[in-house]
Amino acid sequence: MIDPLVRTSVRALVLVLGISTSATAQGQSERYEKLQADAARGDTDAMYELGEMYYLGTQARHGGPERDTERGVELFRPLAEAGHARAQWRLGWAYEMGSGVERDAETAYRLYTDSAAQGFIHAKQTLGKLYIDGRGTAPDFDRAYDLLREAAEADVVRAMTDLARLYQDPDRGPVYDPSRAVHWLRISAEHNQPTGVRGLSEAYLNGIGVERDPVAALRVYVEYEERSGRAQTTAMLRLLAQLSNADRALVDRVAEAENWLSDD
Protein backbone atom coordinates (compact mmCIF):
# COMPACT_ATOMS: atom_id res chain seq x y z
CA MET A 1 0.00 0.00 0.00
CA ILE A 2 1.35 3.42 -0.98
CA ASP A 3 1.88 5.85 1.86
CA PRO A 4 -0.64 8.79 1.57
CA LEU A 5 2.21 11.28 1.93
CA VAL A 6 4.11 9.63 -0.91
CA ARG A 7 0.96 9.60 -3.05
CA THR A 8 0.45 13.32 -2.42
CA SER A 9 4.09 14.06 -3.27
CA VAL A 10 3.86 12.10 -6.50
CA ARG A 11 0.70 13.93 -7.54
CA ALA A 12 2.38 17.24 -6.79
CA LEU A 13 5.41 16.25 -8.84
CA VAL A 14 3.26 15.19 -11.79
CA LEU A 15 1.42 18.51 -11.60
CA VAL A 16 4.65 20.47 -11.53
CA LEU A 17 6.09 18.48 -14.44
CA GLY A 18 2.89 18.99 -16.38
CA ILE A 19 3.02 22.74 -15.82
CA SER A 20 6.72 22.78 -16.73
CA THR A 21 6.11 20.85 -19.95
CA SER A 22 3.19 23.10 -20.84
CA ALA A 23 5.28 26.20 -20.19
CA THR A 24 8.10 24.81 -22.33
CA ALA A 25 5.72 24.07 -25.19
CA GLN A 26 4.21 27.54 -24.95
CA GLY A 27 7.66 29.11 -24.91
CA GLN A 28 8.79 27.16 -27.97
CA SER A 29 5.57 27.96 -29.79
CA GLU A 30 6.08 31.65 -29.15
CA ARG A 31 9.72 31.35 -30.19
CA TYR A 32 8.67 29.65 -33.42
CA GLU A 33 6.17 32.39 -34.22
CA LYS A 34 8.75 35.09 -33.52
CA LEU A 35 11.33 33.39 -35.72
CA GLN A 36 8.80 33.22 -38.55
CA ALA A 37 8.11 36.93 -38.23
CA ASP A 38 11.78 37.87 -37.99
CA ALA A 39 12.69 35.63 -40.92
CA ALA A 40 9.96 37.24 -43.03
CA ARG A 41 11.63 40.59 -42.31
CA GLY A 42 14.94 39.26 -43.62
CA ASP A 43 16.71 38.50 -40.32
CA THR A 44 19.36 36.00 -41.44
CA ASP A 45 19.97 34.58 -37.95
CA ALA A 46 16.24 33.96 -37.58
CA MET A 47 16.12 32.32 -41.01
CA TYR A 48 18.93 29.98 -40.05
CA GLU A 49 17.45 29.06 -36.67
CA LEU A 50 14.06 28.48 -38.28
CA GLY A 51 15.75 26.31 -40.90
CA GLU A 52 17.34 24.20 -38.17
CA MET A 53 13.97 23.85 -36.43
CA TYR A 54 12.52 22.40 -39.62
CA TYR A 55 15.57 20.39 -40.64
CA LEU A 56 16.14 18.72 -37.27
CA GLY A 57 12.58 18.68 -35.92
CA THR A 58 13.92 18.59 -32.36
CA GLN A 59 11.39 21.13 -31.07
CA ALA A 60 8.29 19.47 -32.52
CA ARG A 61 7.26 18.09 -29.12
CA HIS A 62 7.62 21.50 -27.53
CA GLY A 63 5.60 23.72 -29.83
CA GLY A 64 7.98 23.89 -32.76
CA PRO A 65 7.34 22.64 -36.31
CA GLU A 66 7.36 18.99 -37.33
CA ARG A 67 10.53 17.83 -39.03
CA ASP A 68 10.64 18.92 -42.66
CA THR A 69 14.12 18.55 -44.15
CA GLU A 70 13.10 19.97 -47.52
CA ARG A 71 11.73 23.13 -45.89
CA GLY A 72 14.93 23.41 -43.87
CA VAL A 73 17.00 23.18 -47.06
CA GLU A 74 14.84 25.91 -48.65
CA LEU A 75 15.74 28.22 -45.78
CA PHE A 76 19.44 27.31 -45.75
CA ARG A 77 19.99 27.70 -49.50
CA PRO A 78 19.65 31.52 -49.93
CA LEU A 79 21.70 32.04 -46.78
CA ALA A 80 24.44 29.75 -48.07
CA GLU A 81 24.46 31.52 -51.44
CA ALA A 82 24.84 34.83 -49.59
CA GLY A 83 27.90 33.51 -47.73
CA HIS A 84 26.41 32.51 -44.36
CA ALA A 85 29.08 30.08 -43.09
CA ARG A 86 26.88 28.01 -40.81
CA ALA A 87 24.17 27.67 -43.46
CA GLN A 88 26.81 26.59 -45.99
CA TRP A 89 27.93 23.87 -43.58
CA ARG A 90 24.39 22.70 -42.82
CA LEU A 91 23.42 22.68 -46.50
CA GLY A 92 26.62 20.78 -47.26
CA TRP A 93 25.63 18.23 -44.63
CA ALA A 94 22.22 17.87 -46.30
CA TYR A 95 23.90 17.16 -49.64
CA GLU A 96 26.39 14.75 -48.10
CA MET A 97 23.67 12.77 -46.30
CA GLY A 98 21.03 13.09 -49.01
CA SER A 99 18.62 14.53 -46.44
CA GLY A 100 16.06 16.96 -47.85
CA VAL A 101 17.92 17.01 -51.15
CA GLU A 102 19.49 14.49 -53.54
CA ARG A 103 22.84 13.19 -52.29
CA ASP A 104 25.74 15.02 -53.97
CA ALA A 105 29.19 14.71 -52.43
CA GLU A 106 30.77 17.23 -54.82
CA THR A 107 28.29 19.92 -53.83
CA ALA A 108 28.83 19.05 -50.18
CA TYR A 109 32.58 19.43 -50.69
CA ARG A 110 32.15 22.85 -52.30
CA LEU A 111 29.88 24.10 -49.52
CA TYR A 112 32.14 22.75 -46.77
CA THR A 113 35.12 24.41 -48.45
CA ASP A 114 33.34 27.78 -48.59
CA SER A 115 32.30 27.50 -44.95
CA ALA A 116 35.73 26.35 -43.74
CA ALA A 117 37.38 29.22 -45.61
CA GLN A 118 35.43 31.56 -43.33
CA GLY A 119 36.79 29.74 -40.28
CA PHE A 120 33.70 27.75 -39.33
CA ILE A 121 35.25 24.98 -37.28
CA HIS A 122 32.58 22.29 -37.81
CA ALA A 123 32.98 22.68 -41.56
CA LYS A 124 36.69 21.97 -41.14
CA GLN A 125 35.83 18.67 -39.47
CA THR A 126 33.36 17.57 -42.17
CA LEU A 127 35.70 18.74 -44.94
CA GLY A 128 38.57 16.84 -43.35
CA LYS A 129 36.49 13.66 -43.34
CA LEU A 130 35.70 14.07 -47.04
CA TYR A 131 39.43 14.36 -47.72
CA ILE A 132 40.04 11.13 -45.80
CA ASP A 133 37.34 9.19 -47.63
CA GLY A 134 37.89 10.79 -51.04
CA ARG A 135 34.24 11.70 -51.41
CA GLY A 136 33.44 14.73 -53.56
CA THR A 137 37.17 15.29 -54.06
CA ALA A 138 40.42 13.37 -54.38
CA PRO A 139 41.84 11.97 -51.12
CA ASP A 140 44.29 14.34 -49.44
CA PHE A 141 45.51 13.01 -46.12
CA ASP A 142 47.84 15.93 -45.42
CA ARG A 143 44.98 18.40 -45.84
CA ALA A 144 42.67 16.18 -43.81
CA TYR A 145 45.22 15.99 -41.00
CA ASP A 146 45.62 19.78 -40.81
CA LEU A 147 41.86 20.41 -40.78
CA LEU A 148 41.02 17.68 -38.30
CA ARG A 149 43.81 18.56 -35.89
CA GLU A 150 42.61 22.17 -35.82
CA ALA A 151 39.02 21.08 -35.22
CA ALA A 152 39.99 18.54 -32.56
CA GLU A 153 42.03 21.13 -30.70
CA ALA A 154 38.93 23.35 -30.81
CA ASP A 155 36.98 20.58 -29.01
CA VAL A 156 34.99 19.31 -31.99
CA VAL A 157 34.44 15.76 -30.75
CA ARG A 158 33.76 14.19 -34.15
CA ALA A 159 37.09 15.54 -35.38
CA MET A 160 38.87 13.73 -32.55
CA THR A 161 37.82 10.29 -33.77
CA ASP A 162 38.57 11.17 -37.41
CA LEU A 163 42.01 12.43 -36.42
CA ALA A 164 42.61 9.25 -34.45
CA ARG A 165 41.96 7.25 -37.64
CA LEU A 166 44.82 9.08 -39.33
CA TYR A 167 47.20 8.59 -36.42
CA GLN A 168 46.45 4.85 -36.48
CA ASP A 169 46.99 4.34 -40.21
CA PRO A 170 50.62 4.35 -41.42
CA ASP A 171 49.47 4.25 -45.06
CA ARG A 172 47.18 7.27 -44.92
CA GLY A 173 48.02 9.44 -41.95
CA PRO A 174 50.94 11.84 -42.52
CA VAL A 175 51.89 11.25 -38.87
CA TYR A 176 51.72 7.65 -37.62
CA ASP A 177 51.34 7.85 -33.85
CA PRO A 178 48.97 5.30 -32.22
CA SER A 179 49.55 6.81 -28.77
CA ARG A 180 48.23 10.17 -30.01
CA ALA A 181 45.26 8.31 -31.45
CA VAL A 182 44.53 6.91 -27.98
CA HIS A 183 44.79 10.42 -26.53
CA TRP A 184 42.04 11.71 -28.82
CA LEU A 185 39.94 8.57 -28.53
CA ARG A 186 39.99 8.88 -24.75
CA ILE A 187 38.81 12.50 -24.83
CA SER A 188 36.05 11.70 -27.33
CA ALA A 189 34.97 8.72 -25.22
CA GLU A 190 34.74 10.96 -22.17
CA HIS A 191 32.37 13.11 -24.25
CA ASN A 192 30.28 9.97 -24.89
CA GLN A 193 31.07 9.78 -28.59
CA PRO A 194 30.21 6.15 -29.50
CA THR A 195 32.93 5.93 -32.16
CA GLY A 196 35.50 7.11 -29.63
CA VAL A 197 34.24 4.61 -27.05
CA ARG A 198 34.55 1.72 -29.49
CA GLY A 199 37.94 2.88 -30.76
CA LEU A 200 39.39 3.29 -27.27
CA SER A 201 38.12 -0.14 -26.23
CA GLU A 202 39.67 -1.73 -29.34
CA ALA A 203 42.98 0.02 -28.65
CA TYR A 204 43.12 -1.54 -25.18
CA LEU A 205 41.96 -4.91 -26.48
CA ASN A 206 44.64 -5.08 -29.18
CA GLY A 207 47.39 -3.12 -27.43
CA ILE A 208 47.61 -0.44 -30.13
CA GLY A 209 49.04 2.81 -28.80
CA VAL A 210 48.61 1.62 -25.24
CA GLU A 211 49.54 -1.45 -23.20
CA ARG A 212 47.16 -4.32 -23.88
CA ASP A 213 44.57 -4.52 -21.11
CA PRO A 214 41.35 -6.53 -21.62
CA VAL A 215 39.95 -5.28 -18.32
CA ALA A 216 40.42 -1.67 -19.42
CA ALA A 217 38.85 -2.54 -22.79
CA LEU A 218 35.67 -3.67 -21.05
CA ARG A 219 35.78 -0.89 -18.47
CA VAL A 220 35.56 1.67 -21.30
CA TYR A 221 32.04 0.39 -22.04
CA VAL A 222 31.11 0.14 -18.37
CA GLU A 223 32.04 3.76 -17.75
CA TYR A 224 30.25 4.89 -20.91
CA GLU A 225 27.12 3.07 -19.77
CA GLU A 226 27.32 4.72 -16.36
CA ARG A 227 27.78 8.20 -17.82
CA SER A 228 25.23 7.99 -20.59
CA GLY A 229 22.65 5.55 -19.23
CA ARG A 230 22.80 3.67 -22.54
CA ALA A 231 23.04 -0.10 -22.10
CA GLN A 232 26.16 -1.61 -23.66
CA THR A 233 25.28 -5.29 -23.26
CA THR A 234 25.77 -6.17 -26.94
CA ALA A 235 29.11 -4.39 -27.16
CA MET A 236 30.36 -6.06 -23.98
CA LEU A 237 29.31 -9.52 -25.14
CA ARG A 238 31.00 -8.97 -28.48
CA LEU A 239 34.19 -7.94 -26.71
CA LEU A 240 34.07 -10.89 -24.30
CA ALA A 241 33.73 -13.26 -27.23
CA GLN A 242 37.14 -12.09 -28.50
CA LEU A 243 38.96 -12.83 -25.24
CA SER A 244 40.98 -15.89 -24.35
CA ASN A 245 39.86 -18.05 -21.42
CA ALA A 246 42.58 -16.50 -19.23
CA ASP A 247 41.47 -12.97 -20.18
CA ARG A 248 37.84 -13.81 -19.47
CA ALA A 249 38.69 -15.24 -16.09
CA LEU A 250 40.58 -12.03 -15.23
CA VAL A 251 37.72 -9.86 -16.43
CA ASP A 252 35.20 -11.93 -14.44
CA ARG A 253 37.22 -11.50 -11.24
CA VAL A 254 37.52 -7.75 -11.68
CA ALA A 255 33.87 -7.39 -12.72
CA GLU A 256 32.75 -9.26 -9.62
CA ALA A 257 35.03 -7.24 -7.34
CA GLU A 258 33.83 -3.94 -8.81
CA ASN A 259 30.18 -5.03 -9.07
CA TRP A 260 30.00 -4.44 -12.82
CA LEU A 261 27.36 -7.13 -13.05
CA SER A 262 25.30 -5.91 -10.11
CA ASP A 263 21.54 -5.82 -10.54
CA ASP A 264 21.24 -2.72 -8.34
Residues 181 and 257 in one domain: yes
Residues 37 and 110 in one domain: yes
Name the average pLDDT for the chain.
Answer: 88
Q: Is residue 93 part of a domain?
A: yes
From residue 151, give the alpha-carbon distance in Å to each of 32, 42, 138, 155, 207.
Answer: 32, 31, 21, 7, 27
13-27 mean pLDDT: 48
Last residue of a domain, one of 102, 119, 136: 119
Q: Is residue 41 part of a domain?
A: yes
Specify the amino acid at residue 4: P
Q: Is residue 205 part of a domain?
A: yes
Residues 264 and 182 in one domain: yes
Residues 115 and 30 in one domain: yes
Residues 115 and 29 in one domain: yes
164-179 mean pLDDT: 94
pLDDT surpassing 90 at residue 255: no
Residues 30 and 110 in one domain: yes
Q: Is residue 32 part of a domain?
A: yes
| Lowest-pLDDT range of 8-22, 55-69, 72-86, 233-247 | 8-22
Greater confidence, 261 or 240?
240
16-44 mean pLDDT: 71
pLDDT surpassing 90 at residue 14: no
- Expressed as residue numbers, the domain containing 202 is 177-264
Greater confidence, 46 or 255?
46
* pLDDT (tens digit per residue) in 116-158: 999 999 999 999 999 999 999 999 999 999 999 999 999 999 9
**Among candidate residues 110, 115, 109, 99, the one with its CA nearest the CA of residue 132:** 109
Query: Measured between alpha carbons, how far is 32 from 205 in angstroms, rounded to an integer?
Result: 48
Domain containing 43 — which CATH number? Answer: 1.25.40.10
247 CB-near residues (< 8 Å, 6+ apart): 214
Last residue of a domain, one of 119, 141, 159: 119
* pLDDT (tens digit per residue) in 58-79: 887 887 889 999 999 999 999 9
Residues 109 and 190 in one domain: no
Q: Is residue 157 part of a domain?
A: no
Total domains in the chain come to: 2
Residues 114 and 182 in one domain: no
216 CB-near residues (< 8 Å, 6+ apart): 204
Last residue of a domain, one of 119, 140, 161: 119
Q: Would you give the end-to-end CA distance of the chain in angstroms?
A: 23
Q: Is residue 69 part of a domain?
A: yes
Q: Is residue 206 part of a domain?
A: yes
Q: What is the DSSP letter of 65?
A: P
Residues 111 and 184 in one domain: no
State the CB neighbour count (10 A cutoff) for residue 229.
8
pLDDT of 60 reads: 79
Residues 100 and 184 in one domain: no
Q: Is residue 232 part of a domain?
A: yes
* Model confidence band, residue 9 (pLDDT cutoffs 50, 70, 90): very low
pLDDT of 25 reads: 57
